[in-house]
């Protein structure tokens, strides 16, 4: 079997929404500047009206002479172009099941692409190659990885995009998702250091509201999205420690590893992060410095499924928890199914982003009573629902 062509499909469709998709946004590193602190959230699509979100997404197809097509996506336009302009020539005519060889050659070819869009492009290729491998052997990818360790994977509800400053709505949504069977939820802070004490008090009030609503026997995670500095993070941790968060996520931008180490010495709250880090070498920096308790590689960013397996192997040598960022549930469930439950106790389920990222897929691995069942289709399970595609074109370079 040989790769014959790489193609990027740009598809457009309409996602029904129950009101505006994004009720509130999270704090961001750029919010230290007041003109950006007021920026609205504009990601994921165009809100045509309160009931519809217009989506344009890119999916990578790797075609083979055996008629098998491996698919990955959605991915952003710039990584999609890098696949076509820089990586395709290394892949056409090659054996798509030789994932280690192809990964190494793509990585060595991109000497200026060890992070960012270039690594995201490589990650998409790797995930599509795993899709081909699973289809070629007639097995879901989790079986090729040595799974299953479980028949269902606990999911935590990741509440990005829900209102976080109206505490009545916070209580309502938190109770709603607990009733749906989720045994853990992650919420996102809206305020950072430049919002002053008023913003700090609102962050603390969010955590207090969650604990009062969800009770003592419930995991609550809190995401800072790289937006704090050391003094603020120490103060925040001191104020919310009594509410026993399961973890505090991405307190700082990823290159500030020493600051993570300093914070870890100051708090009993477990620290998670490295969602925005790349490759086993990037994660080695965090692990060797004992900067985190939970590492969170994004399979679609850090180097693909092949690289996530290596990151997890090194992290578990140090007895760290590995829970990939929830950018892609379809590939994430295969990883989680093959990992020890003690090291991967949860899979992140980004509620709103999954509605967006899985809109065009036929198979949607969604939680039922807080659990995601293992997919049974060969490969990753990335078949597109053609009935949802209103317009399509190939990406041109």
What are the catalytic residues? Answer: 325
Please answer whether residues 377 and 363 qualify as being in contact, where contact means their C-beta atoms are separated by less than 8 angstroms.
Answer: yes
Contacts of 180 by beta carbon, 8 Å cutoff, 6+ apart = 157, 367, 369, 370
**Cα Rg of the chain, angstroms:** 21
Whether a cis peptide bond, with omega within 30° of 0, leads into 148 is yes
The answer to whether 299 and 331 are in contact (CB under 8 A) is yes
Q: Which residues pair with 49 in a beta bridge?
A: 52
DSSP of 67-90: S-EEEEEEE-HHHHHHIIIIIHHH
Structure tokens, 167: 């505490």
Structure tokens belonging to residue 111: 């000497």
Residue 373 has phi, psi (to 5 degrees) of -75, 150
CB-based contact 12:392 (threshold 8 Å): yes
* Residue reference for tokens 């992290």: 315
Q: How far, in Å, CA of 376 to CA of 152, rounded? A: 12
Alpha carbons 97 and 101: distance in angstroms, whole number:
9
């Amino acid at each position: 079997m040989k790769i014959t062509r790489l193609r990027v499909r740009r598809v457009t469709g309409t996602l029904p929404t129950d009101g505006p998709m994004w009720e509130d946004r999270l704090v961001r590193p750029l919010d230290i500047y007041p003109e950006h602190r007021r920026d609205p959230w504009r990601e994921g699509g165009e809100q045509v009206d309160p009931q519809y979100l217009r989506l344009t997404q890119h999916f990578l197809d790797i075609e083979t002479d055996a008629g098998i097509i491996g698919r990955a996506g959605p991915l952003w336009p710039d990584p999609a172009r890098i696949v076509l302009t820089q990586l395709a020539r290394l892949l056409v005519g090659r054996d798509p099941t030789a994932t280690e060889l192809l990964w190494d050659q793509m990585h060595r070819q991109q000497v200026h692409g060890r992070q960012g869009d270039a690594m995201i492009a490589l990650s998409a290729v790797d995930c599509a190659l795993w899709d081909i491998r699973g289809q070629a052997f007639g097995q879901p990818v989790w079986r090729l990885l040595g799974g299953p360790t479980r028949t269902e994977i606990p999911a935590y509800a990741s509440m990005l995009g829900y209102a976080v400053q109206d505490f009545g709505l916070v209580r309502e949504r938190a109770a709603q998702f607990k009733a749906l069977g989720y045994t853990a939820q992650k919420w996102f802070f809206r305020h950072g250091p430049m919002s002053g004490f008023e913003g700090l008090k609102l962050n603390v009030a969010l955590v207090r509201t969650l604990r009062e609503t969800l009770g003592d026997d419930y995991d609550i995670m809190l995401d800072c999205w790289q937006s704090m500095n050391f003094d603020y993070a120490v103060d925040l941790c001191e104020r919310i420690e009594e509410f026993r968060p399961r973890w505090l996520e991405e307190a700082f931008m990823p290159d500030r590893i020493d600051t993570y180490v300093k914070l870890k010495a100051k708090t009993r709250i477990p620290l998670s992060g490295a969602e925005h880090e790349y490759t086993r070498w990037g994660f080695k920096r965090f692990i060797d410095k004992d900067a985190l308790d939970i590492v969170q590689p994004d399979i679609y960013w850090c180097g693909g499924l092949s690289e996530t397996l290596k990151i997890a192997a090194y992290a578990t040598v140090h007895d760290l928890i590995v829970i990939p960022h929830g950018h892609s549930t379809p590939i994430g469930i295969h990883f989680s199914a093959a990992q020890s439950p003690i090291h991967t106790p949860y899979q992140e389920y980004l509620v709103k982003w999954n509605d967006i990222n899985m809109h065009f897929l036929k198979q949607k691995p969604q939680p039922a009573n807080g659990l995601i069942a293992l997919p049974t289709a060969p490969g990753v399970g990335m078949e597109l629902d053609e009935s949802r595609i209103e317009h399509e074109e190939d990406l041109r370079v």
